[in-house]
Amino acid sequence: MSENETKEQDTKEQITGEKPKKDSFLDSLIVAVVIAMIIKGILLQTYTIPSESMVGTLLKGDFILLNRLAYTFSEPSRGDVVVFEYPLDPSKDFIKRVIGTPGDRIMMKDKVIYVNGVAQEEKYKKTNGMMPMPESVTIKDNFSEFTVPEGKYFMMGDNRDNSYDSRFWGFVDASRVKGRAVMIYWSLDTPQYNSAWAKFPLNMLRFLNPKYDRFERFFKPIK
């Protein structure tokens, strides 16, 4: 502040008896909350994992962040974990892994996925160890090769024997993809059904009990 500005301010204080107001903590807090709401509304979205279809990567009770702008200037890549509108009921959101992108040739043989003729390693995959069933009985473990149409994606859960996915209800349109799951920011274990913590309202407050907080999963990147 210049010398003249300082004199003008002193003169103002002498005439009005008022001092210039400084930014308060409340003002700063309000600004921070507004910025956070804008970021959440435009860039990020939060979800809670309600099922075990992505076990191997995500657990029931994980709280995740979704990057809503991830595919603004690009397309989903094979291996991305994404949230999308369930094709048979757009009011519901599903989370799965991209297995096939437009133009890919996909086949499953004895629980192993082949993309364009190459077996995929899929370190994130979880299976129950049971003997694969033939395609004539179920497409869960085996299905014949097909090509993913343009503008469509083939999605599967990492928990292959406990996932309701594209094997059963088909492809996901590109316009239905909401974003990429990028981080677990919090995780809560589920109390046993006969526990007092499983009943309302304690179930909603179980984060207060360190027993149910899975601290090792906090701020864990989703790969």
Bridge partners of 146, per DSSP, are 106
The distance of Cα 104 from the centroid of its chain, to the nearest Å, equals: 24
Does residue 65 contact residue 185 with C-beta atoms inside 8 Å? Answer: yes
At 25 the pLDDT is 52
Task: Report the alpha-carbon distance of residue 188 to residue 58 in Å, rounded.
Answer: 12
Q: What percent of the chain has pLDDT over 70?
A: 80
State mean pLDDT over 143-148. Answer: 98
Does residue 169 contact residue 89 with C-beta atoms inside 8 Å? Answer: no
The residue among 1, 128, 8 whose CA lies nearest residue 56 is 128
Task: Report the alpha-carbon distance of residue 154 to residue 172 in Å, rounded.
Answer: 6
136: tokens are 């004539």
pLDDT tens by residue, 149-181:
999 999 999 999 999 999 999 999 999 999 999
Does residue 191 contact residue 87 with C-beta atoms inside 8 Å? Answer: no
Task: Report the alpha-carbon distance of residue 83 to residue 97 in Å, rounded.
Answer: 9
pLDDT tens by residue, 49-76:
999 999 999 999 999 999 999 999 999 9
At 110 the pLDDT is 96
At 66 the pLDDT is 96
At 56 the pLDDT is 93
Task: Report the alpha-carbon distance of residue 122 to residue 91 in Å, rounded.
Answer: 30
Does 109 score more than 60 pLDDT? yes
Look up 53 and say whether it is catalytic.
Answer: yes
Tokens 């497409």 correspond to 139
Does 34 score more than 70 pLDDT? no
Does 20 score more than 50 pLDDT? no
**Catalytic residue (one of 7, 12, 51, 96):** 96
Look up 22 and say whether it is catalytic.
Answer: no
**Catalytic residue (one of 53, 163, 166, 187):** 53
Domains of the chain, each with CATH number or no CATH: 66-181 (2.10.109.10), 186-218 (no CATH)
All residues at 6 or more sequence positions from 220 whose CB lies less than 8 Å from its CB, including other chains: 183, 184
Does 16 score more than 50 pLDDT? no
